[in-house]
């Protein structure tokens, strides 16, 4: 029996959030609200989101020996995440600078900090975590060679879920084991080296030709598209009033990865994940907004 339902390998950041009436253009200064600091980072977000839903979750990440690092560890532990794989030192904790407008849309700049020091050697040293997890989820807020080592370190029969954010070209050895590759339309365009404008079905078809076993294209308030060798299908979203979209994609990815590990078909896992993502945007912040399974069921 596996010790975990999900292992997340990724980033842990302090989110520094300011509300604005509108996001500034180039060379422009706007006034914002008081600064609020939230625990975040796409890896830590996924781990907390999965644990809140009831998944036995572990995180492999690196934080600094500083106040932001302590904030992150405390947040994850209070959510039930196993933090034995959270390494300390090497650089200050990563920071995300986030502006949120009245519609709930956000703009984010990330300073990787300690996330950039999570190495392939760290992955190899965590072999016990990999051996205990049927699903591993990772992302690109850590070095690409570390992501490649994650792909090589999967236990027999384990499934890799990858959200390539921030987007970059991916090695063939990573693409070949993605099941699924989860992208939004911007990420799909970067990976394919094309301009936005194609349909989600066209994105998915082109991405599958690169080698992933399955693909999920997230479509914000319009839900998602899932695709594999057998075809594609649209998954509708749940209509809610968005307050803050920060971290909603991480909640979606975590929920989908966990449900896949329970044996759910891809479309069913994505439909559940869409409900989790919808619940997350109804509250401010990233980790603080993540719902329990009961809250998702109540939508």
**Could you give the CA distance from residue 229 to residue 232 in angstroms, rounded to a whole number?**
8
Rg over CA atoms, the chain: 18
Residues annotated as binding site for K(+)?
244, 246, 280, 283, 285, 289
- CB-CB neighbours of 126 under 10 Å: 19
The residue written with tokens 């194609």 in the block is 198
The strand pairing partners of 15, in sequence order, are: 38, 96
**Is residue 263 left, alpha or beta, with left meaning phi > 0 and alpha meaning psi from -120 to 50?**
left
Residues at the binding site are: 13-15, 41-45, 141, 184, 218-223, 244, 246, 249-250, 280, 283, 285, 289
Residue 105 designated active-site: no
DSSP 186-209: HHHHHHHT--S-S-HHHHHHHHHT
CB 276 within 8 A of CB 255: yes
Q: Which residues contact 270 (CB under 8 A, 6 or more apart)?
A: 216, 224, 226, 235, 256
Counted residue by residue, the chain has a size of: 299
Residue tagged active-site, from 179, 250, 268, 294: 250
Which residues are marked as active site?
Answer: 250
């Amino acid at each position: 029996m596996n010790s975990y339902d999900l292992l997340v390998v990724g980033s842990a950041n302090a989110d520094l959030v300011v509300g604005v009436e509108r996001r500034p253009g180039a060379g422009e200064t706007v006034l914002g609200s008081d600064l609020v600091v939230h625990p975040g980072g796409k890896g830590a977000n996924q781990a907390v989101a999965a644990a809140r839903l009831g998944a036995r979750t572990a995180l492999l990440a690196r934080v600094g020996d500083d106040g932001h690092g302590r904030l992150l560890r405390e947040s994850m532990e209070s959510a039930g995440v196993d933090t034995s794989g959270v390494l300390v030192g090497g650089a200050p904790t990563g920071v995300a600078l986030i502006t949120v407008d009245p519609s709930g849309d956000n703009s984010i700049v990330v300073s990787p900090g300690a996330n950039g020091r999570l190495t392939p050697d760290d992955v190899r040293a965590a072999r016990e975590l990999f051996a205990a997890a049927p699903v591993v989820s990772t992302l690109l807020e850590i070095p690409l060679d570390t992501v490649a080592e994650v792909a090589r370190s999967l236990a027999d029969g384990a499934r890799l879920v990858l959200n390539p954010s921030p987007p970059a070209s991916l090695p063939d050895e990573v693409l070949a084991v993605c099941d699924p590759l989860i992208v939004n339309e911007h990420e799909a365009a970067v990976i394919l080296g094309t301009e936005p404008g194609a349909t989600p079905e066209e994105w998915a078809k082109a991405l599958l030709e690169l080698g992933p076993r399955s693909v999920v294209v997230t479509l914000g308030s319009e839900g998602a598209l899932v695709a594999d060798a057998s075809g594609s299908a649209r998954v509708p979203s749940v209509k809610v009033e968005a307050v803050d979209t920060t971290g909603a994609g991480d909640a979606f990815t975590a929920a989908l990865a966990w449900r896949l590990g329970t044996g759910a078909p891809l479309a069913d896992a994505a439909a559940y994940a869409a409900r989790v993502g919808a619940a997350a945007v109804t509250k401010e912040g990233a980790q603080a907004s993540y719902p329990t399974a009961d809250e998702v069921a109540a939508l």
